[in-house]
């Protein structure tokens, strides 16, 4: 058992933790005041298995305190003009910029993604703040022609109230940013439950946001936080005071969340599993294919929801791509290590549970007759490190190929044609991201058309991962159907009112009905 003196927060290498206002023991609940009356848990660094710091989690009682404070704060926040709310979000973006590197290091230390990705994730929150500032001045309604003389037919959007956000470990800050920045300019207050295994990221981020609110003499409870377990998540799903619940996680848990929210006729935004395919046509630029596939498969140690899980190769290029990909993998095997090391390209899996799932999946590959072309092993030593793995020999419709391991395992499949590859792309339950590499314009328009990819993200000549904030992010089928970030995703955080105003002295009925 580690003593507090041995926690990483007391190690000079991790001095950035104290720059973020973290301590050896941290309160995990913020409702305008920092507190917590739940279990004392330890945050573990996946690069070495050591304790970073402790967190006093929240209970359901703490959650109720947060929701009530958030509801009170909404009456202040909703009264502010949208551009004024945008100004506050702009300041949040600036405050995040000031802490970009230490917060990025915290993401790397607690989640396990390499430092450029950790910093990049914080940058996503900064970018969505910038986007939201512009949105705050362009939240548009509409005026439609009325069929009745002396009448105006309008459409107006109003804030919902309290928006709940339950985020996942793999993007412990960006998902909150996508939701909160948009929700806040829309006039909602936000109650956040971060992943149980990344509470320090949640706390450090909440401290930055709270500082901006307090500086502007606004209630801190505009952005509340309740770190906690499944009991808090269940309370959020069942609570009618939560007007919209955004959940990011597995399809299995998301299904339960969605049903629970629907029972109370609430609104939900679900961002769930992905089983993403990258298709390579016979005319593809193979240099681009190998470069794109390498990052899409092994980036974040295979723990992105948009990670490439299935590589579907046209039979004419199958051998060449597989051979080149194995060589590319060999070049990065020596750069697996501590996520904070500048030389590292592949960090650890996030937890012991993730490591066990990887080992179980590789064993099942062998049992089902698949071939491990490369990798497939745990790396001995401290931390939760594995070799990125390439698997061949399984059928396109095998149970393993149709499930998501959430580790750096890619299944390589051989297709007779692009048409067959599209069918295989679409046959899995999930529908998040997809990509086709081709130079053929007919292939491109078939792929993006009604009989093409059935995913929410449909790419051409870029990998399945790395979505931009300007577009709506999300997927279809078992991925949940929710949309975050750009485009018109903001509409999910508001309620639509259709308004008819009679400015005449007459009272005609619609459709010419006479009631005399």
Residues 434, 280 contacting (CB under 8 angstroms): no
State yes or no: pLDDT of 312 exceeds 70. Answer: yes
Cα–Cα distance measured from residue 107 to residue 340, given in angstroms and rounded to the nearest whole number: 10
Token reading at 360? 């179980």
State yes or no: pLDDT of 509 exceeds 90. Answer: no
**Is domain 12-272+480-497 annotated with CATH 3.40.605.10?**
yes
Strands 457-460 and 40-44: unpaired
- For residue range 332-355, list pLDDT tens digits in order: 999 999 999 999 999 999 999 999
Whole-number percent of the chain with pLDDT over 70: 100
- Long-range Cβ contact pairs of 104-108 (< 8 A, separation 24 or more): 105/16, 105/340, 106/16, 106/17, 106/20, 106/22, 106/200, 106/201, 106/204, 107/172, 107/173, 107/201, 108/339, 108/340, 108/347
- For residue range 9-27, list pLDDT tens digits in order: 999 999 999 999 999 999 9
Measured CA distances, 205 to 42, 97, 126, 180, 506 (Å): 18, 12, 12, 12, 56
What per-residue confidence (pLDDT) applies to 514?
86
Whole-number percent of the chain with pLDDT over 90: 97
pTM score over 0.95: yes
Strands 389-392 and 409-415: parallel
Across all residues in the chain, what is the average pLDDT?
97
Which active-site residues does the annotation give?
A: 271
Cα–Cα distance measured from residue 493 to residue 159, given in angstroms and rounded to the nearest whole number: 7
Cα–Cα distance measured from residue 229 to residue 241, given in angstroms and rounded to the nearest whole number: 19
Tell me the CA end-to-end span of the chain in Å, nearest whole number: 84
Residue 425 banded pLDDT, cuts 50, 70, 90: very high
What's the distance, CA 450 to chain centroid?
26
| 515: Cα within 13 Å, side-chain hemisphere | 6
What is the mean pLDDT of the segment spanning 468-496?
Answer: 97
Residue 1 banded pLDDT, cuts 50, 70, 90: low
What per-residue confidence (pLDDT) applies to 193?
98
What is the mean pLDDT of the segment spanning 487-501?
Answer: 98
| Phi, psi values for residue 69, rounded to 5° | -65, -40
> What residue segments make up the domains of the chain, in order of their start?
12-272+480-497, 276-472
Fold of the domain spanning 276-472: Aldehyde Dehydrogenase; Chain A, domain 2 (3.40.309)
What is the mean pLDDT of the segment spanning 90-100?
Answer: 98
Residues 202, 227 contacting (CB under 8 angstroms): yes
What is the mean pLDDT of the segment spanning 316-339?
Answer: 98
Instruction: Work out the angle at residue 266's Cα, subtended by the Cα atoms of residues 265 and 272, and round it to the nearest 5 degrees.
Output: 120
What is the mean pLDDT of the segment spanning 376-382?
Answer: 97
């Amino acid at each position: 058992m580690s003593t507090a003196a041995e926690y990483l927060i007391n190690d000079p290498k991790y001095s950035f933790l104290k720059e973020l206002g973290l301590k050896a023991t941290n309160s995990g609940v913020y409702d305008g005041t920092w507190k917590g009356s739940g279990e004392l848990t330890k945050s573990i660094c996946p690069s070495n298995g050591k304790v970073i710091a402790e967190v006093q989690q929240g209970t359901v009682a703490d959650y109720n305190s947060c929701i009530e404070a958030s509801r009170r704060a909404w009456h202040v926040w909703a009264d502010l003009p949208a551009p004024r709310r945008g100004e506050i979000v702009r300041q949040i973006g600036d405050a995040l910029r000031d802490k970009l590197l230490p917060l990025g290091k915290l993401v790397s230390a607690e989640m396990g993604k390499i430092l450029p990705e950790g910093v990049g994730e914080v940058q996503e929150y900064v970018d969505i703040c910038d986007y939201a500032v512009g949105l705050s001045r362009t939240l548009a309604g509409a005026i439609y022609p009325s069929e009745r003389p002396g009448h105006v037919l309008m459409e107006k959007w109003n804030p919902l109230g309290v928006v709940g956000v339950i985020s996942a470990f793999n993007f412990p800050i960006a998902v909150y940013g996508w939701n909160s920045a948009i929700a806040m300019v829309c006039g909602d207050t936000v109650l956040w439950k971060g992943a149980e295994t990344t509470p320090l990221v949640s706390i450090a981020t909440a401290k930055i946001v709270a500082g901006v609110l307090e500086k502007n003499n606004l209630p801190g409870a505009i952005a509340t936080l309740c770190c906690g377990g499944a009991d808090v998540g269940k309370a959020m799903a069942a609570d009618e005071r939560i007007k919209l619940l955004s959940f990011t996680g597995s399809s299995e848990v998301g299904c339960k969340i969605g049903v629970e929210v629907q029972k109370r006729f609430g609104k939900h935004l679900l961002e769930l599993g992905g089983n993403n395919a990258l298709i390579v046509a016979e005319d593809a630029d193979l240099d681009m294919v190998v470069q794109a596939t390498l990052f899409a498969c092994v980036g974040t140690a295979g723990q992105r929801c948009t990670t490439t899980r299935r590589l579907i190769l046209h039979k004419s290029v199958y051998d060449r791509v597989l051979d080149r990909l194995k060589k590319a993998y060999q070049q990065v095997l020596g750069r697996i290590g501590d996520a904070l090391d500048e030389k590292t390209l592949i960090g650890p899996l996030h937890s012991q549970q993730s490591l066990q799932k990887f080992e179980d999946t590789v064993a099942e590959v062998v049992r089902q007759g698949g071939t491990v072309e490369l990798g497939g092993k745990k790396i001995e030593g401290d931390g939760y490190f594995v070799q990125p793995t390439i698997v061949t020999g399984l059928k396109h419709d095998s149970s393993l190929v149709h499930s998501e391991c959430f580790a750096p395992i890619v299944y390589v499949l051989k297709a007779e044609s692009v048409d067959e590859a599209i069918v295989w792309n679409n046959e899995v339950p999930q529908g998040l991201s997809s990509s086709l590499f081709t130079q053929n314009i007919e292939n491109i328009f078939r792929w993006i058309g009604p009989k093409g990819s059935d995913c929410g993200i449909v790419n051409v000549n870029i990998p399945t991962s790395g979505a931009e904030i300007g577009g709506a992010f999300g997927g279809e089928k078992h991925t949940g159907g929710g949309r975050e970030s750009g485009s018109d995703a903001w509409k999910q955080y508001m309620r639509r009112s259709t308004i008819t105003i009679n400015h005449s002295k007459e009272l005609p009925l619609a459709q010419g009905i006479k009631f005399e």
